Amino acid sequence: MIPITKPFFDEREERAAAEAIRSGWVVQGPRTQEFEKLVAERVGAQYALATSNCTTALHLALIASGIGAGDEVLVPSYSFIASANSILHAGATPVFVDIDARTYNLDPALLEEKITPRTRAIMPVHQIGLAADIDTIHAIARKHQLSVIEDAATIIGGTYKNKPIGAHSRAVCFSFHPRKAITTGEGGMVTTNDPDIARQIDMLRSHGANVSDYARHGAAKVIIEEYPVLGYNYRLTDIQGAVGVEQMKKLDWILERRLEIGRRYNEAFADLDFIATPYEPPYAAHTYQSYCLRVAHNAPKTRDEIMAEMQAAGIATRRGVMAAHLEPVYVNRYGRVALPVTEEATRSTLLLPIYAQMTQAEVETVVRVLRQILGA
C-alpha cells in the first residue's frame, strides 16, 4: 500500500524525545520554548506560542481577539471542520463563505455581502498548502474594522508575495498533525506581533496562570502563581517540543521534496483535459501539503470510482476537502446554506499520495495506475 502521507522521522526525533523523557521535564518547558523560537524566526513573527493542536490555537486566538457570544466570523466551509468548530467553541457563529474555484481558498469578492453588524472577524484558511489572497482580505477587514485570524494549518513554510505566512495578521495558527509537512504527532502554534494577544494566549493555554510552571520551578525564589483569567489546558508537551525542534531543521528539505513530487504529478496529468491539476495564483507558490486533483464531469470515471479503483490497486487516496456546512452539526444548527462552488469542489476533488520520503518508483506507480484507470 502506498499511503496518502507519512511523517518523516529518523533517529534524531527518537533521540530528542528520549532526552526529554530522561530530563524529567516533560510538560511545556525548554524544548517547547526552543521550538517556538524556531517557528517565530522562520515566519518573521515576534511571538510564537505552542498549543496542543491547531484547533486549540484557533480557539485561543479568537478568545484573545475578543471574539465571543453574539459575534460572527466569516470562514470558508471548504476546510476541515475544526476551522468552523473553533468559532463555535469561542461562543461565536461561523458564517460560511464560498471559495474561489481555482485556489479552493475563500473568495474575497464574496466577503462583503456576508458582513453584518455582528461580524467581528474573518478567518481565511490557506487550503492544502496554498496561501489565500491576504492583502485583499485585509483591505476588506480594515474597511469594516474586522480582525483577521488566519487558519494556516497546512502551510508552515509557505509564502504570500514572497513573505512567509505567519506575520501578516493579528494571529496566525499552524498545525503539526501527521498530515502536515512537519509534525509533533499533535500540536499547534499561534504566531503574532501583538504583545497583548501573546500575553493572553500564554495565560489561557495554561489554565489562566500568570506564570508558567517552568518559570516558577526554575526561579531562585518561591513564586506563587495567580489565575487572573479562566483558562484551558492547551499546552504542548516538551517531548513534542523536542520532536518539533528536529522537524523544523528538516522543513526546507521536506518542502523541496514535496515540490518535486507535486511538479511531477502536474507534468504527468497536464495532457488530460478532464483532470485539473493544482492552480498557482501570481501571489503564492504551492507547498503541496496535499496534492489535489479535480475530476471533471466528462471524465471516463467519477471521483468515487477512481478512489475505489486506486484503493484496490494498493494506493490510498482521500476526498479533496470536506464541506463543513453540509455536516449534520451545522445543518441542524443553521439549516442548509447554498455554497455551489464549495459543494462542487467537495464532490469532484481527490488527494493523491505525497510525502517527503516517497520514492520515485512510488510516484511513478501512482501516475501509471491513475492513467490506466482513466484509460489514458
State the CATH class of domain 11-249: alpha beta
What is the per-residue pLDDT for 376?
A: 87
pLDDT in tens for each of the 376 residues of the chain?
999 999 999 999 999 999 999 999 999 999 999 999 999 999 999 999 999 999 999 999 999 999 999 999 999 999 999 999 999 999 999 999 999 999 999 999 999 999 999 999 999 999 999 999 999 999 999 999 999 999 999 999 999 999 999 999 999 999 999 999 999 999 999 999 999 999 999 999 999 999 988 888 888 888 889 999 999 999 999 999 999 999 999 999 999 999 999 999 999 999 999 999 999 999 999 999 999 999 999 999 999 999 999 999 999 999 999 999 999 999 999 999 999 999 999 999 999 999 999 999 999 999 999 999 999 8
Catalytic residue, chosen from 37, 163, 180, 221, is 180
CATH number given to 251-373: 3.90.1150.10
What is the per-residue pLDDT for 318?
A: 97
Tell me the one-letter amino acid at 236. Answer: L
- Asked if 180 is an active-site residue, the reply is yes
Vertex 133, ends 42 and 334: CA angle to 5°?
110
Provide the whole-model pTM. 0.96
Work out whether the CA dihedral 181, 182, 188, 190 comes out positive or negative.
negative
Residue 171: name the closest of 136, 212, 121, 210 by CA: 121
Write down the domain spans for the chain: 11-249, 251-373
What is the per-residue pLDDT for 218?
A: 83
Task: Pull the grid cell for residue 189.
Answer: 502554534
Query: In whole angstroms, what is the distance from residue 166 CA to residue 104 CA?
Result: 20
What is the per-residue pLDDT for 215?
A: 84
Q: What is the DSSP letter of 326?
A: G
29-58 b/e (C-beta count within 10 Å ≥ 16 → b): bebbbbbbebbbebbebebbbbbbbbbbbb
